[in-house]
Chain A
Amino acid sequence: MPTIKIESEKCKGCSLCIDVCPYELIRQERTINHQGYQYVVLADPEEQCTGCTLCALMCPDICIEVFK
């Protein structure tokens, strides 16, 4: 199943990845990482991720790896 891996310690919570995911599979956590940002996580219980890489293309901090 295609999936993504988000490096939460690098994430700055800018939410650019959230907006581009066609299935709205990324959401922001309420807790913060060591940088002080509310990082994002993949929430894909139904394994909908297609590995389209749109989220990774948008991420300015290169926190997202995509597997297919």
Chain B
Amino acid sequence: MKQVFAKPKALNDEIMHYCPGCGHGVAHRLVAEALDHYDITGRTVGVAPVGCSVLMYDYFNCDIIEAPHGRAPAVATGMKRSRSDLIVFAYQGDGDLASIGLAEIVHAANRGENITVIFINNTVYGMTGGQMAPTTLLGQKTTTSPYGRNFNTDGYPIRMAEMLAPLEGTTYVARMSLDKPVNILKARKSVFKAFEMQINNVGFSFVELLTICPTNWGMDSMESIKRIQDEMIPYFPLGVFKEKETEDYI
């Protein structure tokens, strides 16, 4: 009998600290599968965010550096510019990337830094107890929007992939969902593509992943998956928003 599914080698055997069902686990696995696939674990550095995945260095077999809140793209920029032989990725939540770190991600993307950014959209600040994030959906109740997000006072949920795709500096921008096996397979392809862009020196690549946070949504895992399908995907459409060819790169 042949083993057809195994834990990727780029992850160690630690038990991850995430809540039951949390999407960070699958997102970590997809990144690790990309590192295995391109055999780059030995020359990859990840930049961890502030948020639930702050401890990701405990799980990966590559080097991981911790950045101040929202500054992962800036740290990744410095790392990649000083050591262009490294593969550098930032891994960030929606509070980290779309709120406090909005300037860093937009400018890193606009400069066309040759880095890969994995963006975890779970529509809340997970680690600090489920506060409203820029991605929180209209009407969604959080600890800081107890009556539901209201566009009059809180503005509209931000679509990061659509915001970054038109920038000249970006080369690959996609949004995928981790709600069911077929979408996880598509997300894997997308994460692979994002790393491939960097390996081929094409430029800035960005993959947004819609994930569940059962703890702060106050739902069980299955209800949370349904929420992605019923509420998140209609507002955050899935797809590849931009894919440049190597030849496009000036």
The A interface is mostly helix, strand or loop, or mixed, namely: loop
Whether B26 is near chain A, meaning CB under 8 Å from some CB there, is yes
Chain B residues closer than 8 Å to A66, beta-carbon distance:
3-5
B20 with A67: CB separation less than 8 A: no
With A14-B221, A15-B222, A60-B24 in contact, is A65–B181 under 8 Å at CB? Answer: no
Chain A residues closer than 8 Å to B15, beta-carbon distance:
9-10, 35, 61
B4 with A60: CB separation less than 8 A: no
Whether B65 is near chain A, meaning CB under 8 Å from some CB there, is no
Cβ contacts B39-61/A at 8 Å (1 or 0 each): 00000000000000000000000
- Chain A's closest residue to B26 (CB) is A60
- Chain B's closest residue to A67 (CB) is B1
Chain A residues closer than 8 Å to B2, beta-carbon distance:
67-68
Whether B169 is near chain A, meaning CB under 8 Å from some CB there, is no
Whole-angstrom distance from the CB of B220 to the nearest CB of chain A?
Answer: 8
Query: How many angstroms from the CA of A23 to the CA of B1 in the assembled complex?
Result: 21
Q: Pick the most buried of A19, A53, A57: most chain B CB atoms within 10 A of its CB.
A: A57
B222 with A19: CB separation less than 8 A: yes
A60 with B18: CB separation less than 8 A: yes
Chain A residues closer than 8 Å to B199, beta-carbon distance:
none
Query: How many angstroms from the CA of A53 to the CA of B7 in the assembled complex?
Result: 12
Q: Which of B19, B24, B225 interacts with A16 by CB under 8 Å?
A: B225
Whether B100 is near chain A, meaning CB under 8 Å from some CB there, is no
Chain B residues closer than 8 Å to A56, beta-carbon distance:
5
B5 with A58: CB separation less than 8 A: no
Whether B35 is near chain A, meaning CB under 8 Å from some CB there, is no
A60 with B180: CB separation less than 8 A: no
List 27 A–B pairs whose Cβ atoms lie within 8 Å, in order of A's numbering. Answer: A2-B1, A3-B1, A10-B15, A13-B20, A14-B20, A15-B221, A16-B221, A16-B222, A16-B225, A37-B20, A53-B4, A53-B5, A54-B181, A56-B5, A57-B5, A57-B181, A58-B181, A62-B7, A62-B11, A62-B29, A65-B7, A66-B3, A66-B4, A67-B1, A67-B2, A67-B3, A68-B1
